[in-house]
Amino acid sequence: MPGVDPDIPTYTNPILDADWPDPDVVRLGDQFVLVASSFNRAPGLPVLTSPDLVRWTHAGNALPANVPAEHFALPRHGGGVWAPSIRERGGRLVIVYPDPDHGIYTLWADRPEGPWSQPHLLLQGQGLIDPCPLWDDDGRAYLVFGWANSRAGIKNRLTMIEVDESLTCPLGAGRLVIDADDLSGYTTLEGPKLYKRDGWYWIFAPAGGVATGWQSVFRSRSIWGPYEDRIVLAQGSTDVNGPHQGAWITDAAGDDWFVHFQDRGMYGRVAHLQPMAWGEDGWPTMGTPGADGVGEPVRTHRRPATARPDPDAAADPIPPSPVADDFTADSLTPAWHWQGNPEPGWHQTGDGRLGLAHLPNDRGDLRDLPQVLGQLLPGWPVTVEVSLTLDSKSQGARAGLTVLGLRYSWVGVQRTATGLELVAALGDDRQRETEVSRLPVASSAVALRLSSPADGTVHYDWRADGGDWQPLLDAKVTEGHWIGAEIGLFAAAPEGTAADEWSWITRFAVTP
């Protein structure tokens, strides 16, 4: 890199090359705390921590299950937690998140790992999305949010409302502060983040669509407007499409940064970090500023400052997902999530193996099963090895490994009328499965291997009794509903079959 000191640690975007959608970040003491959308996944609202905005650890999940619990007993693809915001208030963390079908909720915690409070419904209504609070200098609190056309019938607008200081109830009616239909070229203005600086109220908000849009900034001397706008970050000549929606954050040295996402389709919305500065005209610049003031995303840059000496400051980041698991802990690691709200009897762990209950709810489509247990499929090459034993006597019971999206692939073992069979199949987006192969096996214990070369495909192999790996299935990967594809484990049985039967996972190894 010309002009860069080789002794200064650098980072390369994306900083999180997996599906951490709609990131928001706050600084808490010596660390940064990030939250992201989780949609139908449970537990949801992932909380990550970092000393430098580059190396991230998945500290926990703020939402054990989506609410209302009954609604999310089944997978609600595209529903659940949309773009949240996180702020620090009085030494505590607060998350404000929207559910487009129910309203806007708040949660509080003393530390990123939790425990987090139960979600409180601050604003009820359909189509209220992407909220962000601001406490003004006089202590009064405000909330800005957008609108989902799919639920409310309107979009491209931002609304401001005053709320009480504890974020428990509104203190008046909301007011439209930005109608982007009045702005030339603007479509789908959403994802606002609200700040105050130098007497100006600032709204950072993306427009133009998830995969194709840009980042705008709005400012006004009054929180109620009128707001003037400027585009500050766009794809330009780079290959980083739709760079937008995220967080302005200041590091320990006083330097400013912008964390945002890029939509990578099947690999989800990955997180990037841009240098940010304030120009002489008072407006922010991001990335590599162009002559017109619109920045382009950087690929590599010096790392942000840490709050204290860090001997590992130059260390390469360790991706927070997917992660290997030996199943010796009494609970699942934060990287795991279900497709619907989990029940206590769905799994057991702690003795070096993961037990998955064969719930009798299988109608032939894995996307219908809330008990699919998943981790993120990353945008970098990865291999996952699984040792599986099907321990069900019910005809039609199956257990296996899947890559789940709008379409999916799976391999595993199924109990049939004649014995055990190794199955490879594809599922389409019309609730139909197509078998690619079916092979009798002598043992219920098999090893499965999934290889993802990060080129839009996955390759499955299998072996038994320590033999050689044999090819089983090649498949394409598709994104999910507003999310990236996932690596999943599952066990299920046809409706009406016996209960209290299990399959067992004794190995979940991850190799980058």
Mean per-residue pLDDT for 126-134? 98
**H-state helical runs in 255-376:** none
| Res. 6 pLDDT band, cuts 50 70 90 | low
Residue type, 326: D
**pLDDT at 505 exceeding the cut of 50:** yes
Please tell me the predicted confidence (pLDDT) of residue 3: 45
**pLDDT at 498 exceeding the cut of 80:** no
Using an 8 Å Cβ cutoff, are 341 and 376 in contact? no
Mean per-residue pLDDT for 307-329? 88
The answer, yes or no, to whether the previous bond of 68 is cis (omega within 30 of 0) is: yes
**pLDDT at 499 exceeding the cut of 80:** no
Query: Which pairing describes strands 256-263 and 300-302: parallel, antiparallel, or unpaired?
Result: unpaired
Stated length of the chain: 512
Please tell me the predicted confidence (pLDDT) of residue 177: 98
User: Looking at domain 337-511, which of 3.40.1280.10, 3.30.56.10, 2.60.120.200, 3.30.70.3270 is its CATH number?
Assistant: 2.60.120.200
CA gap 491, 320 in Å, rounded: 25
Cα angle vertex 503, ends 498, 509, to 5°? 160
**pLDDT at 142 exceeding the cut of 60:** yes
Say what the pTM is. 0.97
**pLDDT at 353 exceeding the cut of 70:** yes
CA gap 367, 362 in Å, rounded: 10
Cα angle vertex 202, ends 198, 203, to 5°? 170
In the beta sheet, which residues pair with residue 359? 492
CA gap 157, 358 in Å, rounded: 46
Of the candidates 271, 270, 269, the one whose C-alpha atom is nearest the C-alpha of residue 249 is 271
CA gap 466, 446 in Å, rounded: 9
Mean pLDDT of the chain: 96
Please tell me the predicted confidence (pLDDT) of residue 220: 98
Residue type, 144: V
Percent of the chain with pLDDT over 70: 99
Mean per-residue pLDDT for 191-196? 98
| Res. 5 pLDDT band, cuts 50 70 90 | low
Using an 8 Å Cβ cutoff, are 28 and 112 in contact? yes
- Burial of 251-268, coded b for 16+ CB within 10 Å and e otherwise, reads beeeebbbbbbbbbbbbb
**pLDDT at 62 exceeding the cut of 90:** yes
CA gap 397, 494 in Å, rounded: 6
Please tell me the predicted confidence (pLDDT) of residue 213: 97
3-class DSSP assignment, residue 72 = helix
Determine which helix (DSSP H) or strand (DSSP E) holds 152, and give its type and residue range.
Answer: helix 149-152
The domain spans of the chain are 10-302, 337-511
Using an 8 Å Cβ cutoff, are 132 and 84 in contact? no
10-302: CATH architecture: 5 Propeller (2.115)
Q: Residue 24 is encoded by which pair of tokens?
A: 């928001």
Task: Give pLDDT tens digits for 9-26.
Answer: 999 999 999 999 999 999
In the beta sheet, which residues pair with residue 303? none
**pLDDT at 1 exceeding the cut of 90:** no
Of the candidates 493, 491, 494, 486, the one whose C-alpha atom is nearest the C-alpha of residue 348 is 491
Q: Residue 44 is encoded by which pair of tokens?
A: 């949801």
Task: Give pLDDT tens digits for 457-487.
Answer: 999 999 998 899 999 999 999 999 999 999 9
Using an 8 Å Cβ cutoff, are 343 and 310 in contact? no
**Phi-psi category of residue 70: left, alpha or beta, with phi > 0 → left and psi -120 to 50 → alpha:** alpha
